[in-house]
Amino acid sequence: MKLDPRTKMVMVLCLSGLALLYNTPGRLLLLLAVTVAMLLIFRFDLGAIGSYLKPFLSLMVFLFVIQCLFAPSGCVLLAVGPVPLVTTGGLLTGAGVVLRIVVVTAAAMLLATFNARDFILGLVQWKVPYELAFMVSIALRFLPVFRDELVNVVTAVQLRGVDLKKVPWGQKITMYSRLLFPVIYGAMLKAQRLAVSMEARGFRVYPRRTYLRRLEFSRADYVVLTVFPAAAIALVIRHINLLAH
């Protein structure tokens, strides 16, 4: 199935909006199922999601543990003296946080199933200024660059003889936080070089841009554009009603 990039953007907004709203693992799992079904429809390689999430695995474990420990509620499963360590409520909250990250990442993958040009074109036809649309698409393109950068640094650090797996947690955190700044700054330097090369090729020399193609909505687009927001709005209203009771 081929949908307009704008339709996909609306889908992503609906899915990630709901993921941020929901906090129970059950509903988040349902949402994940819908997202995965969408990805399959667009023939996205699901293995790639795994490789996207892999660098964030330790962060997710960390968040899970923190939530487990600091949001105790429900039955106590494991306690040290009077302090509840693992509770059913804590486990559910922890699982919720992790699932939320997975759903948002998976939904964002839908954006990867169309190219940056179509994305810009779609936004511009919705009267978004070209510069802004271009910036958003560059930001999207830089996400994988940033991930590659992280992978590179992790490799380079180990090749200097540091066994990252064996470094104790406390030391690892200080090391990562010391590396964070140079990595971000390095990525910014690369972005700056991109800006120079863009200007050298005449970006924004003429105030008006022309476009070769126009995107047209198909019938499938109209269906999705109706069903997704309608369903999302209905679910949000239901959620708010449930909270109110």
Partner 1 sequence: MSFLEIDHVSFTFPRHDKPVLTEIDLHFDQAVITALVGPNGSGKTTLTKLMIGVLRPACGEIRLDGRPLVEYSLGEIGRRVGYVFQNPDLQLFCGTVAEEVGFGLANRGCQRETVEERVAFYLDYFELKDYGGVFPLHLSQGEKQRLAIAAVLANEPLFLVLDEPTVGLDAYRKRLLEDYLKKISRSGRGMVLVSHDTAFVDRVAERVVILENGRVIEDSGRKGKAADEA
Comparing CB distances to partner 1, the nearer of 163 and 216 is 163
Helical packing angle, 57-70 and 88-111, nearest 10°: 150
Closest approach, Cβ 162 to partner 1, in A, equals: 5
Q: Quick check: 213 binds partner 1 (CB under 8 A)?
A: no
Q: Quick check: 153 binds partner 1 (CB under 8 A)?
A: yes
Comparing CB distances to partner 1, the nearer of 113 and 125 is 113
Span near partner 1 by CB under 8 A; candidates 2-10, 130-138, 147-155, 226-234: 147-155
C-alpha 161: how far from its chain's center? Answer: 32
DSSP line for 21-87: H--SHHHHHHHHHHHHHHHHHTT--HHHHHHHHGGGHHHHHHHHHHHHHHS--SSEEEEETTEEEEE
Task: For residue 229, give Cα distances in angstroms to 7, 11, 83, 102.
Answer: 10, 8, 44, 21
Phi, psi angles (nearest 5°) of residue 58: -65, -35
Closest approach, Cβ 119 to partner 1, in A, equals: 24
Span near partner 1 by CB under 8 A; candidates 106-114, 154-162, 200-208, 209-217: 154-162
Q: Quick check: 181 binds partner 1 (CB under 8 A)?
A: yes
Selected from 164, 195, 220, 230, the binder of partner 1 by CB under 8 A is 164
Contact residues for partner 1 (CB under 8 A)? 152-153, 155-166, 175, 178-179, 181-183, 185-186, 189
